[in-house]
Chain A
Amino acid sequence: MQEVKKVLVIGSGPIVIGQAAEFDYSGTQACQTLREAGCEVMLMNSNPATIMTDPSTADHIYIEAMTLEKATAIIKRERPTHLLATVGGQTALNLALSLEEAGVLDQYQVKLLGTSLETIRDGEDRERFKQRMLELDQPLPISQTIETLEELEGFMEKAGVPLVVRPAFTLGGTGGGIAQTKEEARKLAANGLQASPISQCLVEASIAGYKEVEYEVMRDAFDTTIIVCNMENIDPVGVHTGDSVVFAPIQSISDKMNQILRTASREIVSALGVVGGCNIQFAIHPTEQTYYVIEVNPRVSRSSALASKATGYPIAKLATRLALGERLDDCINPVTKETMASFEPVLDYVTAKVPCFPFDLFPGSDRSLGTQMKATGESMAMGKTLEEALQKAWRGAGIEQAPLYPNWMKQADTEVLWQEVNQITDRRLLAMLALLDRKAATHEELAEKTQIQSLFLTTLETLILMQESLDLESKESLQQAKGFGFTDQQIAQITDVPLEVVQQQRNTFLIQPSFQMIDTCGAEFSSLTPYFYGSWSGRTEVTPSSRKKVAVLGAGPIRIGQGIEFDYCSVHAVRALQKAGYETIMINNNPETVSTDFEVADRLYVEPLTIEDVVHVLEAEQCRQVLVQFGGQTAITLAAELEELGYQLLGTTADTIDEMEDRDRFYQFLDRLQIDRILGQEVSNEEELTAIVKELGYPLMIRPSYVIGGKGMHRLTTATDLEKLLPEMVFPILVDAYIEGHEFEVDCISDKTTTYVPVIMEQIEAAGVHSGDSTMILPPVSALASLQDEIEQIAQTIGQHLDYQGAFNIQFVVKDQTVYVLEINPRASRTLPIVSKVTGQPLLEWAVQAAIGMKVEALPANRLTLPFHAVKTPVFSTLKLRGVDPMTGPVMRSTGETLQWTEAGLAKERFVFDQTTKTAMAKRTLRICGAGTDAWSEGAAVQPDTEFDTCLVFFSKSESEREQREKALAQGAIVITEEHLAQYFESVQTIPMCTVKPLSEWTTQKERIQ
């Protein structure tokens, strides 16, 4: 009847702060929905670690730089009839707007699906937004759109300070903030104008202190509108919603206010003409029945992913169907399969979201929270009480609770705790707990200082009271504590008894966890969705099957060093296990991801990835086998305890993991195989440290054992460096010689018979830059085939001798033709998704087959040779983290990555991977050189007061130039801090960009070395 639509879906590109895995979830759902509807789907996304760029997701996949040129080339080549731009975050919206402005959509007659670009502009363009809200009689804070600093002065005359600066068309509030003084306002506005691609900011009178709530709205083209979920921030207006602890549904707001905002939401989406999903943020007066509209996002968002997972209602999937012209009341609710999609979910539990911040990686970074988002990821948890949901989300975010708040707060001065409260840092709620605990603050004082709702303060007080009254001998008391989300571990700490005593007491009292279904309807209708959460009241709704089954542990919240790649691995692990006939049980607590889509695994549990919570799920499911190697370090850290409790880790053992992570055992392992390694050892006190330093000499690397993302790693070049670090050192510490060589990396699959090394990756930057922050080329450009052979052979030797089946990763450094092994990670690595995509091989599936003990017949014996090179580029969010030096080093700081292709060996796209970098490259030419970098490049020398607003690239490697680096970054320059990368930059300048080609075309070019 209808002609087949060819739809181009634009993804969101690399993970950056403000735009994380949620768009892989929404994009993947959109692609699947479009294909179910019979559309031919082409996909553009530069992020190779996503499920959406998997050959199984779309018909034609383009992993290409997110620029207008590349998008145009794809459209020219594929001739899509339609474009879906509302599932790829701000990046996709901005790209769609550029395509339209450049006339590309008209020229190739591409129609937009869903919400129109005009509507998107109404939401995004601050001036138009204001006009539309005025027409609708919707209240907005006093504000003005400015394009110059003079206009700011005019506004301040009128409205004064404090004020909020919101740059137009930026994500996560980049470049914005709250200014308390006029001077601050000028500075912020200057930054904001810089950050906005159209040099426009909204300045508005501050309404800090209002309650902040969000409504997730869906509307079809026939004006049926529903509110899928509403959410309330614990933090009043002033803290970015991505950085706030959030509850769903709203908690402290009456039905009257709720319905006023619901009506306003409906009027807004209807007047704007939204078709699909939309997010609206409101500020509510703390005591009066008045409100303001803060923001309208006419697309699916981080909040819509959270709302989808919190309610079970798949917003992106339905939004896509609505974009195709379906009616809400014709769509079946995919959760109940009994009711229609045109209803509003009700919950019979509380959902809490807790953000994860990267501050601990960077001592000295600015922890204060404001209107610019700083969180890298989030943890979600459900419970029957606010206390339970909050505590579960806290521990799921890896927040130290000892037993309620971090240990250091116990010793900290009261004044220090008050500082955390007054400044609004990520630790504010914990500091409030500490203050309440030592009776150094009252409810009223905290209410006054923070303007946090009394209900939430009561929640904190309840936790303190529970801690004080906890009585292990009383069933009622123990039951109550469990109901408030206390773990056995916390209870053991509070009552000062061994953990086993608490467990025993709990068993005596028959207090057991129960698991209930997330069914969108509060049990009003029957539902078969296998999506569960745990709590301590009510009867469990889980009946374990008698099938053979495996639990897959996910990676939890996205953080620097542990990104979306592990979600890719987890999802593939599930698929491969299902293919092998297993029932799969997914445990993960990251609401953004594909793995927490209830359609992925046979059973999904949103639970914290701690040993207690995981074991409860395993017990409920009567599952004995656990796959930990695909969930990053979070899952690996649970391995030893799981094994101790009698669970079988597939493909590995706790001993193997320990052998690779314990430095002494690791070196013995390498020595036994006669593999060259770096000199070094673990030291447990200062004396041993001095001895080893003397033996090895400088430069040195030091780090704690079991690191993630290089946390706590330092490169020492002189004795002074060491002295500086000594006071804060916590032993044991690993001390290694530092070899300034050439780094290589491999991802291998071993089934014990064969160890397959698909391709070798070469790092551009010298050793010492964290591999996650480095530019990787695969296969290598500069390494001779003989060197690659040697690396492959070493990897195969390791594979043969390691008691391990599945995927693992080895890092090498080569100097003077000697190949040293730096480390072996007995788990799927950050780069495995990339290797899988570049080689076009089902590496994850093979790894899972190996892990479950199959002999993988398909495993090739030798590596591939590819007639092209792929270049992995790290992408940083440092701009959003004040106080973090952009200089790369042993501590990882990138948040995401992109992949480029080249037949020439060099890829200009390494520096032109999105619209911003593209514009910079086109408009700027100036090079500025820091101390000691003039050998890399010819350019102006840096001065303390150098401005970088016309600078293309700033080369800098001196510690002392940190301020200039931060400034250069803020002013839009590329900051390069490593010599080889600088040389790479210079050598790609004259290289033309690579022609766009779909993934399938690249991967069919491979041939095997015989």
Chain B
Amino acid sequence: MKGTGALTLADGHVYPGELIGSSSVQGEVVFFTGMTGYQEVLTDPSYRGQIIVFTYPLIGQYGISEQDSESRQIQVSGVVVQTLANNGLRSDLADWLAASDIPVLTQVDTRALVHHLRNQGDQIGILTCGTSSVQEQSNLIATVSIKQPEVYPTDYEAGHIVCLDYGVKKSMIEALQERQMKVTVVPFDTPKTVIDELKPDGLLFSNGPGDPSQLDHLIPEINKLALAYPTLGICMGHQLIAKAFGCRIEKQHHGHRGANHPVRQLKTGRVFMTSQNHGYVVQADSVQNSELNVAYEHINDGSIEGLLHPTHPILTVQFHPEAHPGPLEAMVIFDQFVAGILKQEVAYAGS
């Protein structure tokens, strides 16, 4: 199905285009600035329920490839692009989107749209061939999280990590597996008692979609868990742990979504180019009155990019060390996490 359509934003702005697909969808409209990695983005559960705008004007040039997906399905609700490329190959992005019933709005002035979101902030929008009103979404994490625990073994098992699944990306699990960690992925609301029985050597609080306040009821449990095991929090996991130790979370004016975000490690001054995808952020002032210290900061806007507990082995990062898409250089975070577990040290405090 192809016809005229439009993206209507909550503030009433309309961006016309050509709509491929029949269903109308609603979601937060966010933009991704990376020039490669569309498949990883589309399948990243953190984008669950969102309408993704690609700033690069051509998407689909290198087709799709089965092993590049970050989860089993396309997670975004809708796609906004300038041109969906035809690459003459069989593994075609357009076909995959159509088969997954994901509507795509093409021929959109994405630059003007990004300009608007940059000035007016991220907001809900609706992708449709007609008009419709906008409603809020909630409980995204519950929809993307697995329902039953799943085990990801390794050939040589040096340790065991339990991953709380708020919408975990495949690459995060793979990064741990590559470091000889068996990973058990558990539903987002698994209680501590159940996790204790799994006898983990460490916990990974994963990435996930939306506002962390949707899990406010789990914050005390998260605090207990983090204090009980060596802990790594990534993105949503980072925000939840921050909350659990007294920080506040605020919505960003417009999120960080791209593969070129420079982050500085405070202790060493070292700069990492990181992949990011978040619309909420730890409020900088709130860290001072919390139990945590700042470990990483964003070079461009100074926002909090990582936190560290002074006495417990707890490290959290706002960026995505597992990359996919994006630079691989922050993978050292996993090295440090795993090394810390193996040496049973509080060591990954930044060296």
Q: Which of A225, A262, A266, A338 has the most CB of B within 10 A?
A: A262
- A1002 / chain B contacts, CB cutoff of 8 Å: none
Q: Which of B68, B88, B326 has the most CB of A within 10 A?
A: B88
B86 touches A254 (CB 8 A): no
Known: A255-B324, A343-B299, A344-B273. A350 touches B62 (CB 8 A): no
- In the complex, residue of chain B having the shortest beta-carbon distance to the beta carbon of A387: B83
B56 touches A347 (CB 8 A): yes
- In the complex, residue of chain B having the shortest beta-carbon distance to the beta carbon of A461: B88
A227 to B273, CA, bound (A): 10
Q: Which of A253, A345, A455, A526 has the most CB of B within 10 A?
A: A455
B 72-108 to A, binary, CB cutoff 8 A, 1 in contact else 0: 0000000000110111110000000000000000010
Determine whether A407 belongs to the interface, using a CB cutoff of 8 Å to chain B. no
A259 touches B328 (CB 8 A): yes
Determine whether B340 belongs to the interface, using a CB cutoff of 8 Å to chain A. no
A350 touches B33 (CB 8 A): no
B262 touches A385 (CB 8 A): no
B 294-328 to A, binary, CB cutoff 8 A, 1 in contact else 0: 00000110000000000000000000000111111
- Distance (whole angstroms) from the CB of A875 to the closest CB of chain B: 39
- B217 / chain A contacts, CB cutoff of 8 Å: none
B325 touches A343 (CB 8 A): no
Determine whether A925 belongs to the interface, using a CB cutoff of 8 Å to chain B. no
Known: A343-B262, A347-B56. A224 touches B270 (CB 8 A): yes
B 1-17 to A, binary, CB cutoff 8 A, 1 in contact else 0: 00000000000000000
A857 to B276, CA, bound (A): 61
- Distance (whole angstroms) from the CB of A12 to the closest CB of chain B: 31
Determine whether B37 belongs to the interface, using a CB cutoff of 8 Å to chain A. yes
B 96-134 to A, binary, CB cutoff 8 A, 1 in contact else 0: 000000000001011110110010000000000000000
- B118 / chain A contacts, CB cutoff of 8 Å: 523-526
Known: A253-B62, A255-B68, A344-B260. A455 touches B85 (CB 8 A): yes
Name the interface residues of B142-190: CB closer than 8 Å to any CB of A: none
> Which of these, A225, A523, A537, contacts B107 with CB under 8 Å?
A537
Determine whether B243 belongs to the interface, using a CB cutoff of 8 Å to chain A. no
A 208-250 to B, binary, CB cutoff 8 A, 1 in contact else 0: 0000000000000011111100000000000000000000011
- A678 / chain B contacts, CB cutoff of 8 Å: none
Q: How large is the interface on B (under 10, 10 to 19, 20 to 34, 35 or more residues)?
A: 35 or more
A 511-539 to B, binary, CB cutoff 8 A, 1 in contact else 0: 00000100001111110000000000111
- B264 / chain A contacts, CB cutoff of 8 Å: 329
- In the complex, residue of chain B having the shortest beta-carbon distance to the beta carbon of A226: B273
Determine whether B259 belongs to the interface, using a CB cutoff of 8 Å to chain A. yes
B33 touches A524 (CB 8 A): yes
- Distance (whole angstroms) from the CB of A775 to the closest CB of chain B: 50
A624 to B329, CA, bound (A): 52
- B31 / chain A contacts, CB cutoff of 8 Å: 524
- Distance (whole angstroms) from the CB of B113 to the closest CB of chain A: 9
A521 to B115, CA, bound (A): 11
A559 to B14, CA, bound (A): 48
> Which of these, B61, B109, B111, B112, contacts A251 with CB under 8 Å?
B61
> Which of these, B55, B114, B299, contacts A329 with CB under 8 Å?
B299
Known: A252-B62, A350-B57, A458-B88. A522 touches B299 (CB 8 A): no
Known: A252-B87, A454-B88, A455-B88. A343 touches B300 (CB 8 A): yes
> Which of these, B61, B110, B299, contacts A348 with CB under 8 Å?
B110
- Distance (whole angstroms) from the CB of B333 to the closest CB of chain A: 15
Determine whether A263 belongs to the interface, using a CB cutoff of 8 Å to chain B. yes
B36 touches A340 (CB 8 A): no
A539 touches B33 (CB 8 A): no
A224 to B329, CA, bound (A): 11
B35 touches A523 (CB 8 A): no
- Distance (whole angstroms) from the CB of B31 to the closest CB of chain A: 8
Determine whether B258 belongs to the interface, using a CB cutoff of 8 Å to chain A. yes
A253 to B114, CA, bound (A): 25
Name the interface residues of B248-288: CB closer than 8 Å to any CB of A: 258-262, 264, 269-271, 273
- B269 / chain A contacts, CB cutoff of 8 Å: 222
Determine whether A457 belongs to the interface, using a CB cutoff of 8 Å to chain B. yes
B 217-242 to A, binary, CB cutoff 8 A, 1 in contact else 0: 00000000000000000000000000
- B270 / chain A contacts, CB cutoff of 8 Å: 222-224
A258 touches B82 (CB 8 A): no
B271 touches A348 (CB 8 A): no
- Distance (whole angstroms) from the CB of A322 to the closest CB of chain B: 13
- A348 / chain B contacts, CB cutoff of 8 Å: 55-57, 110-111, 114
Q: Which of B61, B270, B326, B327 has the most CB of A within 10 A?
A: B61
A179 to B111, CA, bound (A): 48
Known: A343-B273, A538-B112. A524 touches B87 (CB 8 A): no
- Distance (whole angstroms) from the CB of B300 to the closest CB of chain A: 4
Determine whether B351 belongs to the interface, using a CB cutoff of 8 Å to chain A. no
A343 touches B260 (CB 8 A): yes
- B57 / chain A contacts, CB cutoff of 8 Å: 348-350, 384-385
- Distance (whole angstroms) from the CB of B90 to the closest CB of chain A: 10
Known: A255-B36, A346-B55. A455 touches B112 (CB 8 A): no
B37 touches A255 (CB 8 A): yes
Determine whether A158 belongs to the interface, using a CB cutoff of 8 Å to chain B. no
Determine whether A438 belongs to the interface, using a CB cutoff of 8 Å to chain B. no
- A461 / chain B contacts, CB cutoff of 8 Å: 88
- In the complex, residue of chain B having the shortest beta-carbon distance to the beta carbon of A336: B300
A252 touches B61 (CB 8 A): yes
A539 touches B260 (CB 8 A): no
A537 touches B87 (CB 8 A): no
B82 touches A342 (CB 8 A): no
- B39 / chain A contacts, CB cutoff of 8 Å: 254-255
A522 touches B56 (CB 8 A): yes
A777 to B115, CA, bound (A): 57
Determine whether B200 belongs to the interface, using a CB cutoff of 8 Å to chain A. no
A254 touches B68 (CB 8 A): yes
Determine whether B28 belongs to the interface, using a CB cutoff of 8 Å to chain A. no
> Which of these, A249, A259, A339, A346, contacts B300 with CB under 8 Å?
A339
- Distance (whole angstroms) from the CB of A239 to the closest CB of chain B: 21
A 140-168 to B, binary, CB cutoff 8 A, 1 in contact else 0: 00000000000000000000000000000
- B110 / chain A contacts, CB cutoff of 8 Å: 348, 538
- A254 / chain B contacts, CB cutoff of 8 Å: 36, 39, 62, 65, 68
Known: A254-B65, A350-B58. A345 touches B37 (CB 8 A): no
A-B contact pairs, 7 of them (CB 8 A): A255-B36, A255-B40, A329-B299, A343-B300, A455-B62, A524-B55, A537-B82
Given contacts A443-B88, A455-B88, 20 further A-B contacts (CB under 8 A): A223-B270, A227-B273, A250-B35, A251-B61, A251-B62, A252-B61, A254-B65, A255-B259, A262-B328, A339-B300, A340-B262, A346-B35, A346-B259, A348-B57, A385-B57, A455-B62, A455-B85, A458-B86, A522-B33, A537-B107
**Interface residue ranges, B against A (CB under 8 Å):** 31, 33-37, 39-40, 55-58, 61-62, 65, 68, 82-83, 85-89, 107, 109-112, 114-115, 118, 258-262, 264, 269-271, 273, 299-300, 323-329
